[in-house]
């Protein structure tokens, strides 16, 4: 039986560890995976507000982690408060974020079974009625604030915990070099910022080639924004799950 990615060259732009796991799956399915992250994560320059927010965590009813990076960058600091957080519900936007929490020793985690994104989390019945609940949302600087906004409209008191910042990565090999080498059959991206940076890193010389490569994204929202940027073929999966994508 032919493997799903047999003979295909795939550009993987997700951050580690997800990016590395995707590369393993693609290679096991007969394809050539090229790892080229289009976002780089850094700690905050000014951590004062971050530590102020952490001190308020014991007073929250729920903690919501927006991404695996939110887990990895915040949990080493949150661990100091864990004895005071035993009665607090912990939620994640998807399986990848939930798995990151499990790696950090958290076992009881609420997350969507199907749609692994903000809309999927907000659709859970546990977040339908949150009037007067105190909820901390742990995310990156400048990230999407849909969860904060919607839960606030539903009556919750939101504590924004900004744990990291995203920057355009400095690569030893350029995207232009990779495309002139062999090109790609498929590209994969896990966020709109990642998609946007593909275009930035492509530059004007190879953008005409890049925009024609089919792009796999994880939500209809990212698809709409990617198409507005000029990507010609955008495919959507509700879950960043290897079996679903394959």
Residue at 2 is within a domain: no
Do residue 156 and residue 186 come from a single domain? no
Strand pairing category for 89-92 and 62-65: parallel
Q: Residue 218: its pLDDT value, please?
A: 82
Tell which of 109, 141, 167 closes a domain: 167
Q: Residue 127: its pLDDT value, please?
A: 95
Tokens of 141: 């600087």
Name every residue whose Cβ is closer than 8 Å to that of residue 42 and which is 6 or more positions away in sequence: 164, 165, 166, 167
Q: What percent of the chain has pLDDT over 90?
A: 49
Residue at 3 is within a domain: no
Do residue 94 and residue 35 come from a single domain? no
Tell which of 102, 136, 167 closes a domain: 167
Buried b (16+ CB within 10 A) or exposed e, 68-80: bbbbbbbbeebee
Residue 92 has a CB neighbour count (10 Å cut-off) of: 28
Domain extent for 63: 42-167
More confident residue, 136 or 46: 136
Q: Is the pLDDT of residue 29 over 90?
A: no
**Number of domains the chain contains:** 2
Digit-coded pLDDT (tens) for 230-241? 999 999 986 666
Q: Is the pLDDT of residue 187 over 60?
A: yes
Q: Residue 239: its pLDDT value, please?
A: 67
More confident residue, 38 or 144: 38
Q: Residue 242: its pLDDT value, please?
A: 60
In order, the DSSP letters of 143-177 are ---HHHHHHHHTTPEEEEEEEEEEE----SS-HHH
Do residue 106 and residue 212 come from a single domain? no
- Residues 8-34, mean pLDDT to the nearest whole number: 88
Do residue 162 and residue 173 come from a single domain? no
Task: Name the pLDDT band for 244 (thresholds 50, 70, 90).
Answer: low
Q: Residue 185: its pLDDT value, please?
A: 93
Residue at 4 is within a domain: no
Residue at 208 is within a domain: yes
Highest mean pLDDT among 2-6, 27-31, 163-167, 231-235: 231-235
Residue at 102 is within a domain: yes
Q: Is the pLDDT of residue 69 over 60?
A: yes
Do residue 109 and residue 210 come from a single domain? no
Task: For residue 27, give the CATH number of its domain.
Answer: 3.40.50.10090
pTM reported for the whole predicted model: 0.78
Do residue 73 and residue 53 come from a single domain? yes
Residue at 93 is within a domain: yes
* Adjacent-strand bridge partners of 198: none
Residue at 1 is within a domain: no
Rounded CA separation 194/18 (Å)? 14
Q: Residue 246: its pLDDT value, please?
A: 67
- Residues 78-84, mean pLDDT to the nearest whole number: 81
Do residue 15 and residue 51 come from a single domain? no
Provide the angle, in degrees to the nearest 10, between the axes of the packed helices 48-55 and 68-78: 70
Do residue 63 and residue 156 come from a single domain? yes
Do residue 71 and residue 106 come from a single domain? yes
Do residue 151 and residue 193 come from a single domain? no
Tokens of 46: 């000014």
Tell which of 132, 151, 167 closes a domain: 167
Do residue 140 and residue 102 come from a single domain? yes
Q: Residue 115: its pLDDT value, please?
A: 76
- Residues 40-53, mean pLDDT to the nearest whole number: 88
Our measurement of the distance from residue 239's CA atom to the centroid of its chain's CA atoms, rounded to an integer in Å, reads: 11
Do residue 25 and residue 51 come from a single domain? no
């Amino acid at each position: 039986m032919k493997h799903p990615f047999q003979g295909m060259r795939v550009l993987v732009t997700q951050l580690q560890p997800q990016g590395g796991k995707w590369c393993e799956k693609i290679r096991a399915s007969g394809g050539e995976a090229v790892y080229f992250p289009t976002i780089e994560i850094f700690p905050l320059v000014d951590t004062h507000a971050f530590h102020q927010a952490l001190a308020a965590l014991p007073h929250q009813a729920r903690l919501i982690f927006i991404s695996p990076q939110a887990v990895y960058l915040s949990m080493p600091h949150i661990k100091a408060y864990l004895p005071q957080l035993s009665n607090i519900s912990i939620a994640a936007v998807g399986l990848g974020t939930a798995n990151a929490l499990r790696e950090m020793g958290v076992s009881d985690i609420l997350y969507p079974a199907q749609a692994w994104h903000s809309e999927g989390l907000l659709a859970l019945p546990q977040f339908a009625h949150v009037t007067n609940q105190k909820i901390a949302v742990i995310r990156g600087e400048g990230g999407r604030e849909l969860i904060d906004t919607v839960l606030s409209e539903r009556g919750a008191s939101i504590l924004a915990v900004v744990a990291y910042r995203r920057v355009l990565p400095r690569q030893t090999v350029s995207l232009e070099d990779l495309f002139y080498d062999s090109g790609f059959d498929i590209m994969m991206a896990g966020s709109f910022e990642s998609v946007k940076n593909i275009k930035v890193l492509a530059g004007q010389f190879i953008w005409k080639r890049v925009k024609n490569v089919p792009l796999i994204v994880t939500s209809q929202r990212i698809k709409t924004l990617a198409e507005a940027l000029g990507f010609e073929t955008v495919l959507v999966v509700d879950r960043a799950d290897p079996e679903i994508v394959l």
